[in-house]
Chain A
Amino acid sequence: MKKHIDTILVQSGNRTDAGTGAISPAIHLSTAYEHKAIGQSTGFDYSRTGNPTRSIVEDTLAKLEEGHRALAFSSGMAAIQAVLSLFTTGDELIVSQDLYGGSYRLFLQFEKQYGIRFHFVDMHDDSRITEKLNGRTKAIFLETPTNPLMNETSISAVSSIAQGHNLLLIVDNTFYTPILQKPITEGADIVVHSATKYLGGHNDVLAGAAIVNSEELGEKLFIIQNSIGAVLSPFDSWLLLRGMKTLSIRMAQHEKNARVISEYLKNHDCVSDVLYTGRGGMLSFRITREEWVGPFLQKLKVITFAESLGGVESFITYPAAQTHADIPVMERNRLGICNRLLRFSVGIEHVDDIISDLENVFNQLRGEAIIHG
């Protein structure tokens, strides 16, 4: 019986330990596993290659994304690095033009040092994708919605281009999570996550995941995971599993709050525009005056000024100086990641408290503007 995602999430790890009946699975810290005799393995030999606690979280991730197999990594970037390691010098990839700064930095590194080429395009326009295609193109990598501009791309539309040209389609599903979007069901081959964000959800564990749609890709990626060794530790696997149990109810509350806040910001005269898709807990907005950004961030009392997103606490990030600092200024401005843009990861606090925090700060800024002109 195919279960609802809420049920998969809550039941993850349960009934995995017949010996004790533990509901919360044991954390297997052991790095080595006894062999009863030569060639007799329990399936676990060495923790980098396979760990019982990590296996549970990997199986859960595969189910959530409706993939064939999932692999857990020590960070979201480690997952992306492993996926990029599927390619070879001379290969080319077509990638979203506005995407997380860390991915952008990694792509440049792969291009400069290992000779894998990246074409940054606007994924909304099929012709922009097709004009970059050539015999060396091996994959399309997209984020939807994008970070931080919240542009949505139709995965199935890009998937038909990918399938038509025999390309792998890789989708970063960090912002929506499988609660709102399951890229594999829309034709993606690989889904990547910074599980540090919504999946973990508590700003207390760094983790990454890659979920694939076939046995062949699973085996290839497993060899890379085992060779590069950037695996998620047992303790962090357990924390991630624990976090995911509440993903469904957290996401519902994030979205409920984000909808109210986006309306509030849209109607506020200190805000010039709000970028929100109507789904999920992420939105971005531009404050009307660039000189307000600094004091705005410093005066917040409930919302935290920090990097990262997807946690239970509300965060505001300044992409130009934090997440996207590695993208050159000209390029940033061309894309719209200007110096007035703020990214808001709406938490699950009471929405009235978040709004009054914003209202207080806006009032202070306006008051000071009146005094100082």
Chain B
Amino acid sequence: MGKKTYSRQTSLLHSHGYDAHTGAVSTPVYHATTFHQSNFDQFGAYDYSRSGNPTRETLEETIAELEGGVRGFAFSSGMAAISTSFLILSKGDHVLISEEVYGGTYRLITEVLNRFGIQYSFVDMRDLHEVARSIRPNTKVIYIETPSNPLLNITDIEGIVKLAKANDCYTFLDNTFMTPLLQRPLSLGIDVVLHSATKFLAGHSDVLAGLAVTGNELLAEKLAFLQNSFGAVLGPQDSWLLLRGLKTLHVRLKQSSESAYKISRFLETREEVEEVYYPGLSYHKGHEIHVRQAEGPGAVLSFRLKSEVEVRRLSKAVKIPVFAVSLGAVESILSYPAKMSHASMPQPERERRGITDGLLRLSVGLEDTNELIEDLKQGLNSIKIESIHDKIIHL
């Protein structure tokens, strides 16, 4: 099938072609860790599975095509993709990171990379002036998440790219929340796109995976070297699960995004909710930038209740969303960032970033939208009922 002539919806289903030997539509799972070499002077395309595996390669080619890059890399988790990419740096190098970065990335930078002499500073990426002021002569990477996790803050991708290019540093972007269906950062000048493919790309809460894609040949070579050298590669069975998940990405994301918008409109009407964070709301800070650089608001939203007590009541009362970490699944997942995704961030740092004890993140799944809204409604109602109940007890 010819490349780039089809929409992303179609290429999700057909980009990797069919198995050359059997015509199988579903890519075969090659468990072989090693491959017979029939020619002594010239080794075949595959020798050892860590260096290259046909199933993983199909996935890597697919994501490279979807993101519009020259080469894709699959890793054993999103963090493995992020850590391997950061390790192209050397001691003495500096990275500038979005201050509201995912807790796992925060931990990696502050507890592991710092030991290798890699310096870092956190900055509010919404403020381009502050970003410009924070760039040092040894800054090698600017790392952004947009929309960010969990407050859905929007960063001006082109603004950051411009600053990075002027200062000769690379830009990395975590595209987990958007996927290449909604946002294609390489086309905006980003050097490396990263994914926790565990989330929307795979979509079924059944596979841990990470992806990196670059449009830069030199970076592709560096990443290939490190992927092989560090060995945090994705297994063949998991590569296959991810390819399988990708086939329904378009319909999943479409349905979830539509529901997320309706839920955000519902939440903003409720008095228990102090604030709703969702890029699809016209008053969401950065909405205009988001509309310019992405093709949709996605399926993750956050909202703020007054306190941890209220969060406890709601999480106990809701029946449909799973109360768990992670996001981007067919099942709706309600998470509590303060104690889950951002638990590895010290409390003052967390609160300064707006990740307070009343904040909840909702990853909207494929359940019936009205049922989700009804469930949230009874959950929010229970906050008031329990609070009246408490008052009576204390009288």
Contacts and interface: CB of A to CB of B under 8 A. Distances in A.
Given A31-B198, A89-B115, A115-B116, A81 B238 contact: no
Contacts of A306: 34-37, 47
B35 A31 contact: no
A25 to B, nearest CB: 16
A229 B75 contact: yes
Given A35-B323, A231-B77, A74 B233 contact: yes
Given A77-B231, A305-B40, A228 B80 contact: yes
Contacts of A39: 339
Interface string A233-244: 101100100000
Given A77-B231, A305-B37, A45 B79 contact: no
Interface stretch (B3-11, B104-112, B286-294): B104-112
Nearest to B50: A75
Interface string B3-33: 0000000000000000000000000000111
B208 interface: yes
B148 to A, nearest CB: 19
Given A229-B75, A233-B208, A78 B232 contact: yes
B289 to A, nearest CB: 30
Contacts of B263: none
B138 interface: no
B117 A115 contact: yes
Contact of A38 (B39, B205, B231, B308): B308
Chain B, interface size category, equals 35 or more
B41 interface: yes
Contacts of B322: 32, 34
Interface stretch (A201-209, A258-266, A268-276): A201-209
Given A89-B91, A203-B34, A224-B112, A38 B312 contact: yes
A322 interface: yes
Q: Which of B33, B77, B323, B340 is packed against the most chain A CB atoms within 10 Å?
A: B33
Chain A, interface size category, equals 35 or more
A81 B231 CA distance: 8
Contacts of B241: 29
A48 B208 contact: yes
B134 interface: no
A203 B33 CA distance: 5
A231 B312 contact: no
B47 A230 contact: no
A308 B326 CA distance: 36
A228 B231 CA distance: 11
Nearest to B51: A307
Nearest to A45: B325
A236 B326 contact: no
A33 B329 CA distance: 13
B213 interface: no
Given A78-B231, A89-B91, A204-B31, A235 B50 contact: no
The 9 closest A-B pairs by CB, nearest first: A229-B79, A77-B231, A230-B232, A75-B231, A229-B77, A114-B116, A32-B326, A74-B76, A308-B34
Given A75-B232, A307-B34, 20 more contacts: A30-B206, A37-B323, A45-B324, A48-B77, A77-B50, A77-B231, A102-B231, A114-B116, A114-B117, A204-B32, A206-B235, A226-B104, A228-B232, A231-B76, A233-B238, A235-B238, A297-B40, A308-B34, A308-B48, A318-B40
5 contacts: A114-B118, A226-B104, A227-B108, A236-B238, A239-B31
Interface of B: 31-41, 47-50, 75-83, 87, 89-91, 104, 107-108, 111-112, 115-118, 198, 205-208, 210, 226, 229-235, 237-238, 241, 308, 311-312, 315-316, 322-326, 329, 333, 336, 339-340
